[in-house]
């Protein structure tokens, strides 16, 4: 259960970080504080969302 939560947390955290870090660099390159969005907001929120998704997937009954 913990491994699934951590795996999803890392996956969604990296996606959120890259999106929040690279997105402002592409769309508004003149904004010098754009990458801070990925570092402080979208990365951590993606990680927390990934933990919740991992928890939900872990508690779900398995189908074989």
Instruction: Write out pLDDT tens, residues 21-62.
Output: 999 999 999 988 989 999 999 999 999 999 999 999 999 988
pLDDT (0 to 100) of residue 64: 76
- What's this model's pTM, rounded to 2 decimal places? 0.89
pLDDT (0 to 100) of residue 62: 83
Retrieve residue 53's tokens: 């998704």
The count of other CB atoms within 10 Å of the CB of residue 23 is 15
Q: How far apart are CA 62 and CA 26, in angstroms?
A: 42
pLDDT (0 to 100) of residue 13: 97
Confidence of residue 63 (pLDDT cuts 50, 70, 90): confident
CA 40 to chain centre: 11
């Amino acid at each position: 259960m913990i491994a699934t939560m951590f795996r999803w947390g890392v996956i969604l955290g990296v996606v959120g970080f890259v999106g929040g870090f690279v997105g402002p660099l592409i769309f508004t390159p003149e904004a010098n504080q754009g990458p801070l969005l990925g570092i402080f907001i979208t990365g951590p929120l993606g990680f927390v969302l990934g933990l919740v998704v991992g928890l939900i997937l872990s508690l779900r009954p398995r189908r074989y």
